[in-house]
Structure 1
Amino acid sequence: MELFNSALGKNISFVRPTYFIISGLSGIPNIKYYYVFLFFVYIVSVLGNTVVMAIIILDHSLRTPKYIAVFNLALVDLLGNSALVPKLLDIFLFNHPYIPYNDCLAFLFFCYTCLSLQALNLVALSYDRLIAIIYPLHYHVRMTHRFMLSLIAFFWLFVILVVLIAACLLTRLSFCKSVVIKSYFCDHGQMYRLACNDNTPSLVISVFLPILIIWFPLLFILFSYLFIGYTLSKIASVHERLKASKTCIAHISLVAIYFLPVLVTFTLMEKIHPNARIINLSLTSIFPSMLNPIIYVLQTQEIKESVKRLLKIKVRSKMTIKKVNVM
């Protein structure tokens, strides 16, 4: 960041506070019950995503392009909630609202990176389903391990670059108005509005960031399912339609859980009370990470069969050990 600032000019001086104050959830009645709920969501999220990653690692039959994307989604969910929830609880539950300047930028970077990757990972999963249904005979040629790994690597690099630029642009702002961030984390939009010098570059990137990580992914997913629906309508057999559509149910559920709360919150932004808006946004950031593994375990046939196989292997190994001990 120092190199970034030096490139802007040596004569520019910045007013950088020692710390920021996160105040988004302060003063809300009975908010401690919400913190208990967040802690429960975090524990379930950690356990669920860890289980999904473990199943994919242990079961070689799940080493497919689709489950590479599922593994990445579980990893991103785990990292995102681990970056956000413990710090959120520390700030509000244990009354540590002061966060150092550099720590706040790092907090912003990790939260935005993981939340953005969640949306882009849903794009990878929708593309996988699109190819599987429209080109079923060429699926293994078009959707290879190498392609999926390259796509996910591109998403990681793209998101890290964009979020890093957004964070670096904040370092050229002078924060002489206030240091109070009215959000539940170091929110980019709240931070650049506190600046007393020209914040136009940060304003521009705040406009393009939602387009890149929310609207483009959502539009791609919607058009993908329009093509999928059109393709399924051509299938003569009802049984084949149901069989093909079942493979999309889990993914459609993930898309709805991630995007619907975001769209509702931002559409009704002016009509929602500020406290309710902050709680809604915090739930939008945390809740999908808990539900994603539950949905995949309950609605995906391959995962359920994999769990049964792994449990049978475990039971057999225990029985073998008992027989050996008896002998």
Structure 2
Amino acid sequence: MEETNQTTVTEFILAGLTEDPELQVPLFLIFLGVYLVTVLGNLGMVTLILFSSQLHTPMYYLLSSLSFIDCCQSTVITPKMLMNFVTQSNVIPYPECIAQFYIFCVFAVAECHMLAAMAYDRYVAISNPLLYKVTMSYKVCLWMIGGVYVLGILVATVHTVFLLKLLFCKSNIVNHYFCDLFPLLELSCSSTFINEVIAISLSVFNIMVPVMTILSSYIFIIVNILHIQSTGGRSKAFSTCSSHILAVAVFFGSLAFMYLQPSSVSSLGQGKLASVFYNIVVPMLNPMIYSLRNKDVSVALKKVLEHIHLFSTKNTFP
């Protein structure tokens, strides 16, 4: 087995989503629009929660952390992809490629566990409302958020350390639109057995543990919803839960398709499409799914807009 940190490859070429030149500009415009909506939606949510005192609760702290993660994860991937749509050379230097993978991995893992933390928070709020402030205190909330980021950093560090041990001397064309783990493993001249075992093991932990937590939480939530006497209340609660579950299913389903199977050339093409969902689509949808239908957020947003309007009116008409 070769044990070296050196590589004969100094840069990689990202194959991108498609090689069809006619699709480059339309895809650029589509993903540019998606990225702008993602950044504005998530940063807007973080800002709204930061400056609205009525949203200073554990639920919204978790939501603001999710928005921050979504914004960062999308920013790590999308700008480079947009650049590759409009340039002839899709080159990414080796250090930048490794850095992109590391940062992406941190936020992808963090999002998995943040969604689980949010589901648990909703379970506590609905099942034990009288004990909610004790169970989900600010200290507990802070520990949960810190734990989510620590897990992301630990998992990303393990993957990256073992990735740096590989020797790359084959083709330098990465069959993806960003530097992801399995497409990089395909290019290695070294044995990738340990990398694949680690990847599958950590993927099982980072996908299945949050999924089981979310499913358990929502099963208890639905049971409690069934005890609601008001038909309108049940309908509204089911509508909210179904949108949350749909977002979670898309995110974890696409993650599982990509990472809970051994790497193979035939699966990487389909993996590109799956990764679009958890990297680009879900971060755009999360602010709408988790917040815009929320009454507290709507009220806070209305107040902020009213303050902005009053401020601009005073400055315009002294």
TM-score by structure 1 length? Answer: 0.85
> Cα distance 1:174–1:301, how it changes in 2: closer, same or farther (>3 A)?
same
Q: Which residue of 1 aligns with 2:132?
A: 139
d(CA) in 1 for partners of 2:269 and 2:68? 30
Aligned residues: 315
Moved more, 127-136 or 186-195: 186-195
Q: Which residue of 2 aligns with 1:112?
A: 105
- Give the one of 69, 85, 89 matched to 2:78: 85
In the TM superposition, residue 267 of structure 1 has moved relative to its aligned partner by: 9.4
d(CA) in 2 for partners of 1:175 and 1:137? 57
Q: Which residue of 1 aligns with 2:189?
A: 196
- Give the one of 147, 152, 159 matched to 1:154: 147
Alignment of 1:224-243 (within 5 A): 224-236=217-229, 238=231, 241-242=234-235
d(CA) in 2 for partners of 1:47 and 1:90? 20
C-alpha distance after superposition, 1:121-160 (max 9, x if no partner): 1111101001011111100110111111111111101111
In the TM superposition, residue 282 of structure 1 has moved relative to its aligned partner by: 2.2
In the TM superposition, residue 36 of structure 1 has moved relative to its aligned partner by: 1.5
Task: Give the greater-gyration-radius structure (CA).
Answer: 1
Q: What runs of 5+ residues in structure 2 fail to find an aligned partner?
A: none
> Cα distance 1:195–1:276, how it changes in 2: closer, same or farther (>3 A)?
closer
Moved more, 135-144 or 235-244: 235-244
In the TM superposition, residue 213 of structure 1 has moved relative to its aligned partner by: 2.4
Moved more, 23-32 or 81-90: 23-32
CA contact (8 A) 1:119 1:213 kept: yes
d(CA) in 2 for partners of 1:201 and 1:274? 20
Q: Which residue of 2 aligns with 1:3?
A: none
| DSSP 3-state at the match of 1:139 | helix
In the TM superposition, residue 265 of structure 1 has moved relative to its aligned partner by: 7.1
- Give the one of 152, 155, 158 matched to 1:165: 158
In the TM superposition, residue 249 of structure 1 has moved relative to its aligned partner by: 5.5
CA contact (8 A) 2:257 2:274 kept: no
* Structure 1 residue identity aligned to 2:173: V
| DSSP 3-state at the match of 1:21 | strand
Q: Which residue of 2 aligns with 1:71?
A: 64
> Cα distance 1:77–1:13, how it changes in 2: closer, same or farther (>3 A)?
closer
- Give the one of 279, 303, 310 matched to 1:309: 303
d(CA) in 2 for partners of 1:160 and 1:273? 27
| DSSP 3-state at the match of 1:25 | coil
Alignment of 1:254-293 (within 5 A): 254-262=247-255, 275=269, 277-293=271-287
In the TM superposition, residue 280 of structure 1 has moved relative to its aligned partner by: 3.8
In the TM superposition, residue 214 of structure 1 has moved relative to its aligned partner by: 2.0
In the TM superposition, residue 276 of structure 1 has moved relative to its aligned partner by: 5.4
RMSD: 2.9
In the TM superposition, residue 174 of structure 1 has moved relative to its aligned partner by: 1.2
Matched, 1:25 2:17: yes
| DSSP 3-state at the match of 2:76 | helix
> Cα distance 1:28–1:210, how it changes in 2: closer, same or farther (>3 A)?
farther
In the TM superposition, residue 29 of structure 1 has moved relative to its aligned partner by: 5.8
d(CA) in 2 for partners of 1:212 and 1:273? 22
* Structure 1 residue identity aligned to 2:142: L
- Give the one of 25, 36, 50 matched to 2:29: 36
* Structure 2 residue identity aligned to 1:312: E
TM-score by structure 2 length? Answer: 0.88
Moved more, 135-144 or 169-178: 169-178
In the TM superposition, residue 105 of structure 1 has moved relative to its aligned partner by: 0.5
Task: Report the identity percentage.
Answer: 29
d(CA) in 1 for partners of 2:240 and 2:295? 9
| DSSP 3-state at the match of 1:30 | helix
- Give the one of 15, 21, 33 matched to 2:7: 15
* Structure 1 residue identity aligned to 2:224: T
Moved more, 39-48 or 29-38: 29-38
C-alpha distance after superposition, 1:255-287 (max 9, x if no partner): 2442344457789999x9865542342243101
d(CA) in 2 for partners of 1:42 and 1:113? 20
CA contact (8 A) 1:26 1:92 kept: no
CA contact (8 A) 1:122 1:251 kept: no
CA contact (8 A) 2:4 2:167 kept: no
d(CA) in 2 for partners of 1:24 and 1:12? 29
Q: Which residue of 2 aligns with 1:212?
A: 205
